[in-house]
Amino acid sequence: MSLTDGYQMNNGLTIPKVGFGTWQAKDNEAKQSVLWALEAGYRHIDTAQGYNNEEEVGEAIKESGVKREEIFLTTKLHNKKHGYDNTVEALNDSLRKLDTDYIDLVLIHWPNPKYFRDNWKEANAESWKAMEEFVAKGKVKTLGVSNFQPHHLDALLETANIKPAVNQILLNPSEMQPEVVNYNTEHNIINEAYSPLGTGKIFDIDELKDLAEKYDKSIAQLVLRWSLQHDFLPLPKTVTKERVWENADIFDFEISDADMKIIDGMTGRAGSATDPDTITF
């Protein structure tokens, strides 16, 4: 297994099993970290309209020298841009900022933002219709969602012609979201893990320190390997060059079943998922 190995999505296309996240990476920091990631061998880059760094990510891809078709690029719909017309405008804006002819994966970032709380089902259905039209035009390859729970997915599937291929959710040893993960798996939707390192909080868990020493790996490497062994798709984010490379070095060891269970038992030790129906953004 390597950074270029992938999962087959429900539309027949392949998504690399490990991605590089850019949340909270701003300006040149975002650009430089993506350049390092591509140099280290990552071929899956994740951004979002709400991250305000699409232009920098696009610049890094252009300057990296890596062929565009070798890179799997994801962005996500802004919470203020739900609805048909808003989505068309937003996706055209992302294509311009990313300076690309197509986007590999577009996600609805949150199912129930405060701006559309009274009609979130209809707003999601309208956004999805617009996204499906971008697929038909070849401007988007694959559609997915983020932070969707089963009732949000059930509502979307009532009108969707294209089934979501990915659900990007908070997944790490502290928060495994079993109900959502099981739903995704049953519906052939890939479980993509954002904040797979718990936004840094997992580094304070002593048992993880002991296990990392046992495998002669860092805590980050251990937890990313744990994610892969659960068939999740982790999106580690860092703006430190050494850690970009370190987080990619996770394919030369395997965690035992017993140690996987120990890590599985760390629920709640480093935070939990936000309720998408009560977010204030």
Q: Indicate the burial class of 279 (C-beta count within 10 angstroms; 0-12, 13-18, 19 or more).
A: middle
Q: Are 139 and 73 in contact (CB under 8 A)?
A: no
- The pLDDT assigned to 36 comes to 97
- The pLDDT assigned to 26 comes to 76
pLDDT in tens, the chain (281 residues): 889 899 999 999 999 999 999 997 777 889 999 999 999 999 999 999 999 999 999 999 999 999 999 999 999 999 999 999 999 999 999 999 999 999 999 999 999 999 999 999 999 999 999 999 999 999 999 999 999 999 999 999 999 999 999 999 999 999 999 999 999 999 999 999 999 999 888 999 999 999 999 999 999 999 999 999 999 999 999 989 999 999 999 999 999 999 999 999 999 999 999 999 999 99
Active site residues: 51
* Angle subtended by helix axes 120-136 and 150-157, to nearest 10: 60
- The pLDDT assigned to 251 comes to 97
Tokens coding 41? 């061998």
- The pLDDT assigned to 201 comes to 87
Residue type at 63?
E
